Chain A
């Protein structure tokens, strides 16, 4: 039992070490500029296709992300051998210190916890998707440029039985103070038991 009462700080420290280690030694890497450029090409094509209806672009980016997230989680679990998280606090730490570190080499800050500890924000000091990006005037109101990230998190969390809402609160691209994504737990999905076995 003694291992379970580790303080949260030692938990998060070891997570950071796990994340850094996997990023450094077990990850094939590519140029971040190429990644940003590719994403930019996708977004600009979508804006063209939907004739600058940015709400539709947001939705499309989200669902694209969702489809990526449901597959990305497999790789993540295989790479980290991470057990199930006991609560959202732990989940948030894993997302920020391991998942974002391993895939995008960033560690967004976790903050703004709701009193019941079921909703939190991720603050992004840097965002490899929107490097060198400047939005045209008409897009700054409605477009969430990096909305794919919300979709990825939604899809990945759903696969570990956490039904969450994930959405942008603010983005520096819209000349707001910081880039913030909110994650809110709706419910923990139950393990399905096959009929007749109970």
Chain B
């Protein structure tokens, strides 16, 4: 609104550049943040539902191998049943629904290790995909914040803390710590997707917090994927990057109304 006119040929100050960039950002098409948040959070129960189905399919494949001979005999009858199935498909436009999301989220923490592994892998893979595309989106935008010299890893971490987080979660990472030898800690004391999560129960009961964190744990897998995705697209392949997330205490002065714990992402880059 009150932007000073920018003359061509004149070298822009970094402040003007930032201002110009902000105007540009604001002019891009937008959608509701809540719609995005719901979509992103729903990926967690989705992954569990898919895991159940894919797992069942694997078992079925093994069983059906035993039954192939028997099936061959049934071929004559199958034509008729195919037709009725087609009609049924047309009549039932609404597919059979999965379990409600909260039940699925609960299942992730109670299911066996193999399935949980599958869910985590799926979540990280979706995050990885988002992360690597997001880099392109952000880098090709003439953002004055972005300057990667020789793919210096600290600059990339700052890029993740500032631009990537801002884009996805609407806020920056609260704290970045590093030993300058490939280890980084990224702290988010108000991690958005779980901000409003709460489990009903007695607050003074220590097992309540344990339950809350174990239910919220899968929601940290997507950002792990995003971080590794961004790093990978900027030259640090996933073989040399290890990323873990854990809950940490919030420092004094941060809101106690939201989720009781902050999140710490621990990133380790192995020497190549």
- B-contacting residues of A (Cβ < 8 Å)? 23, 27-35, 37-42, 44-46, 49-50, 56, 58-60, 62-64, 66-68, 71-72, 75, 102-105, 128, 148, 154, 165-167
Contact = CB atoms under 8 A, between A and B. Distances in A.
Given A59-B96, A68-B42, A128 B130 contact: no
Given A30-B31, A75-B34, A35 B39 contact: yes
B33 interface: yes
A2 to B, nearest CB: 35
B128 to A, nearest CB: 8
A53 to B, nearest CB: 9
B137 A37 contact: yes
Interface residues of B, number: 40
Contacts, number: 126
A15 B220 CA distance: 39
B261 interface: no
Contacts of A32: 28-31
A66 B35 contact: no
Nearest to B45: A67
A41 B129 contact: yes
A74 to B, nearest CB: 11
Nearest to B125: A45
A71 B105 CA distance: 15
B54 A49 contact: yes
Contacts of B167: 30-31, 34
Interface in B162-200: 167-168, 170
A102 B96 contact: no
A31 B28 contact: yes
A27 B130 contact: no
B50 A103 contact: no
